[in-house]
Every structure is written in structure tokens, then in C-alpha cells.
Structure 1
Amino acid sequence: MIEVSGLRKEYGDFVAVENLSFSIAKGQIFGIVGPNGAGKTTTLKMLGGLIKPSRGDISMKGLDMFRDSVEIKSFLGFLPEESPLYEGMSVNDYLMFFAELYDIDKGVAKKRISDLLFDLSLNADGKKIGDLSKGMKRKVAIARSLINDPDILIYDEPASGLDPMTSRYITDYVRSLKKEGKTIIFTAHNLYQVESLCDNILILKNGQKIIQGTADHIREEYGKIQYRLEFRVDDIGDYDLADVTQADDAYVVITDDIDVVNNTTKWVASRGGDIVEMRTIVPSLEDIFLSIMGVELFAE
């Protein structure tokens, strides 16, 4: 569906993206994450045909992004992080204006606009866009990106700066677009959202790919599963299998060594103690991301 090969983007002496390659299958939700300045927005702009790469190739549905840009843009929807709207226009007039730019039949456009407003729970009641809340404006921008019924959507921080309810709504709406068969590429700083939504995730750092894959694959490569064992025993004096902390009337061991867990349970049993709790601590995508970025994590 989408093939990116050897992508590089330079701004003078600064390299924003370097040697970036990846593939996206039809119907996938593909998340791109990284710290500020990692090259996420630059990558999306190249994928959207807004800027040309200094080197490398992008193809969509077998078409070259820059040789066949007009045809590609007919099935592409783009939502920038900052999306200025024509605030003096009503929502319907604004969306109809963009439908006309795509040369969509007026009757088809009216039906599509009505469906989009319904699907997005966007009841503007004839208000001008400038009178809408930030969340409603974001929904208008999303509706605009869908006015041509595109196969491929590129969304830069679609829920950025919104209240939790609106953010959740937009996340669920993006998920529903996948069910319609659309391929979606997006960036987000909310890594819980990325982990719950994406089929495939690309982590960028300093413009370069660190890893790409499913959340489980990234966890296997970079995550460290730990075990938390909480127990009670009268005397801890001769316990020497691992570091121990105290929690109320119990002791806690956190380790990534399953042998320590097994030997500790045997030791506790031999001292007549009790196992209070034993659980596995699976790192979240956020934990792994922070670790990759060099932020030290502390076990609880």
C-alpha cells in the first residue's frame, strides 16, 4: 500500500530525517512517535506531498508521490497539527467549499457532509466556525480531511490539546475509520493511545528509525519483564537472594530473574512465611519509549 525507502530531508546543514524506510499495509493504523524534533511532522509532510525529500522514494498504491502527486492527492486526506480554518464561514459552507475543490457532485457532497457531521457528533446549528469550541473546530478539520472519501489518512496529533472526552471520541472515531478499510498514519504524544490504537509503530529519534513493529515486537526487543513478589516472614535476616524493601508488614522483591522468584517462594515456605502477592510487571510502550530516549526509570 505505502512504501518509503531511504527518505532523507535536509534544511541547510540540519538533517531532519535520515535514511528512513518502512512499509504500511492496507487498512493498518500506523503510529509514528518520538520526542519533539525527532522528525515526525517532517515525515508526515513528505508523506502528504507537502514537501519534497532531499533523497529517497515514496509510493502509494503503486504510484510515485511526486510524479503522480495529483492522482495520489485525490485519495489522500491530510490533517496537520495546527489546522487554520476559515472562521468566518459556517461549517456546511466550509465543507462544501472543499468538496467543490475536489469537483465532487453537489448532491453527493451534501450527503457526505451530512453523514460526516452526524458521525462526528458535530451539530454547529449554523454557527460560524470562529464561534465553535476548540474540540468542535478539530472535528471540522477532520471532516474536511474526509470530504473526498480518501483511502489514506495522514493525521498529525489529531487529539492534541483537547479535553479527555473529546480526545477519547476522536480516538474512537479514528478506530472506526479503520473498520471502513482506510489506512491511517498518525503521530501522537499520548503513548497509551498509540499502543491501544496502532497495528504498527515507528519510533524516531534524531530523525532516524530506532525500531518499527507491533507493540508486542517492540516490547520483546526493548522491554524488560519484571516480577514483583510480596511476602510475609518472621525473620528476614538470612535472606540473600535479591534486594528487599519493606511495605507495611510485608517484604517486597522486584526482579527480572524468574529463578529468584522461584527460590524466594521456596525460602519463604521453608521459614513458615506467606506469599501475599506475586505478579508480572509488563512494561508499557511509554516505559520503553522513555528508556530508549535515555530517561532513567525507577521500579516502584
Structure 2
Amino acid sequence: MIKTENLVKEYNEKKAVDNLNLEVGDGEVFGFLGPNGAGKSTTILMLTGMIEPTSGNCTIQGVNVALNPLKGKEILGYLPEDVGFYKNLTGYENLDYLGKFYPLTKSEREERIEILLKSVRLNDVPQKVGEYSRGMNQRLGLALALLNDPKVVILDEPTANLDPEGVLRYREIIKKLEKEGKTVLICSHILSEVRAVCTTLGIISQGTLVARGSVEEVEDELILQSNTSQKIVIRSINPEVYSFIESISNPEILGVERIENGVEIRVKKDIRESLAEELKDKCFGITEMYLDRPGLEDLFLKVYRRE
């Protein structure tokens, strides 16, 4: 589990993180989002024990990483945005050397390295890391983050340099970690990737968590914050459906508009279930009903460009 309590980090009396309260449960794959300068990187550096908080606490599996950073690193796997390796060593040699910092026997370490290099498709690569592409370097970084079989994994922009095949392998690895009950925190600007692998999202703004929940719940929150309406579209062979929908009294309905072969309903939230109940015994010849709502990327940009 990852937990922060009233976490604060100040630089020159300016708060980069401001009373952040965040909890990521066991087995949760959590997407950590926010605009540049929102406090994401500062939060991650505190969670990994690389910088100390000004006040408040952050714990990994109950370990206060500021007070006991070495213990925190034993149970944590971390992939930074810019991962570095010894360029004069091969991928295997890098992992073998760095793996000696963990409480692994030689045979355990060798077995883990073989499995991980195969999972990131670097097991048959003989050249030294100095000859790696950026994508290969990123994949080796993912293998390093998992070398100690951590209970908690923090990944900062994990797909930034990956090609499409690398992205697919990364998704498979995240799904495997989820099945194993690992806690994973993913910080990324690629919202489509976050949506593809994360079970829950959290959005940080000006150092404070402003939205948290499932993808759908966070989208609903951003819709409210951006004053963006969503629409339910109903297609029907009977034009009388417009008059019927207009007569419905529901505080979630913001407006009704007639369109070709149907009606468009602006709503505060998805009310298709209640609408279907209202329409089920009526002979309006409904052929289609769907929710038309802006995507996570559009909502994110609209809220934070305004901010």
C-alpha cells in the first residue's frame, strides 16, 4: 500500500506539494496524472525516499520511507523517467551488478534476470547498453524496477520511448503484476496508456489531489469542473420520442434537442438506465441509445488549460 498523510514539500517557501492525502491500496494499478508543475515528480521523489518531505508522512507497505529509506527500497521497484545504466556493460551485466544491492542469493538473482530480460525482449541482445536505443534502455529500466520482486512498483513515464510492440509488452507486464496482487503507481502524460492499464486514477493540481476514482468517476469529476455537458443520443423511427423526452422531469437533464431520426439530450451524468425504464413500454421504435461524452484527454486539457 502507498499512503501519504498531509504531505508537504516546500522550495523557497513555495509549496510544490500541499497537504497531499493519497492512498493506493494493495493490488491497485493507479494512474497519477497532472499538468507540468503540479507536484507529481516531487511526490514520487518523496515516495521513493530520494528527498525528504517538509512535513507530513509517506509510507510504503507501512514503512516510513523518509525515516527508513533502505527498508523502503527493499520492497519498492522504481522506474524513473530518465533511467541510467553503465554504458560499458551489457544489459545482463548491469542487472547482475545492481541486483547485488538487494538481499538475493546469486542463483535467485540470475534466475530473476533471465526471466525479466525475456519478458522485456532483451534476453538475446549481446551489445553493451551504450549501443542501446532509447526504447531498449527503457525496457531494461522496467526489468531493473522488477528485479527485487517488489510489492510496490512506481513507474514514471514508462512508455515514453517505447515502440508499439514495446507498449504491448509493457501492458502485458502490468496486467501480470496486477494478477500477482502488486501495487502499481504509474505517472504518465500518455492518457490513453493510463486508461488502458489503470484501475483507478488520481489527478494532482497545485500540489493537491483534486480527483480520485475509477476512470469513469474521474471523467465525471472533470466534466463538472470544466462545465462540459455530455449527451445521450436516442435514435428512433417515431418522431414523437422528442415530445416524450421533453416531458420527462429529471434534474439531470439540461436540455433536449431534436435531431435527424431522434433526439439529443444534454445531461449532467449518464441516466440511460432510467431513460430506458421510461421508454421500455412505449412504442417509439428505438433503434439506438448511446452516451456521447468527451474523452479523458479532451477533459484533462480543457480543465488545465483554463487553470
For this structure pair, what is the TM-score category when the shorter chain's length is used for normalisation? 0.7 to 0.9
Q: Does 1:155 align with 2:155?
A: yes
Aligned to 1:68: 68
Aligned to 1:7: 7
- TM (normalized to structure 1)? 0.82
Contact 1:58 1:64 in 2 (8 A): yes
| Distance of 1:74 and 1:35 partners within structure 2 | 30
Per-residue deviation, 1:125: 3.0
Contact 1:124 1:132 in 2 (8 A): no
Deviates more, 1:157-166 or 1:79-88: 157-166
Q: Which runs of 5+ in 1 are unaligned?
A: none
1:226 alignment partner AA: K
Aligned residue for 2:44, secondary structure, equals helix
1:125-204 equivalences under 5 Å are 125-204=125-204
Per-residue deviation, 1:66: 1.8
| Aligned residue-pair number | 287
| Distance of 1:63 and 1:253 partners within structure 2 | 52
| Distance of 2:64 and 2:285 partners within structure 1 | 65
Aligned to 2:303: 292
Give the 3 Å change call, closer, same or farther, for CA 278–103 of structure 1 in structure 2: closer
Per-residue deviation, 1:284: 3.4
Aligned to 2:59: 59
Give the 3 Å change call, closer, same or farther, for CA 233–112 of structure 1 in structure 2: closer
Aligned to 1:85: 85
Q: What is the aligned-residue identity percentage?
A: 32
Q: Does 1:35 align with 2:35?
A: yes
- TM (normalized to structure 2)? 0.80
| Distance of 1:252 and 1:162 partners within structure 2 | 43
Q: Which runs of 5+ in 2 are unaligned?
A: 224-228, 247-255
| Distance of 2:145 and 2:289 partners within structure 1 | 49
Per-residue deviation, 1:254: 5.2
Aligned residue for 1:148, secondary structure, equals coil
Superposed CA offset, 1:22-54 (max 9, x none):
112111111110111111111111111111111
| Distance of 1:231 and 1:294 partners within structure 2 | 38
Aligned residue for 1:101, secondary structure, equals coil
Contact 2:231 2:264 in 1 (8 A): no
Aligned to 2:250: none
2:232 alignment partner AA: Y
1:195 alignment partner AA: R
Q: Does 1:227 align with 2:238?
A: no
2:296 alignment partner AA: L
Q: Does 1:256 align with 2:267?
A: yes
Contact 1:91 1:124 in 2 (8 A): no
Per-residue deviation, 1:200: 2.2
Taking only aligned residues, the RMSD between alpha carbons, in angstroms, comes to: 3.3
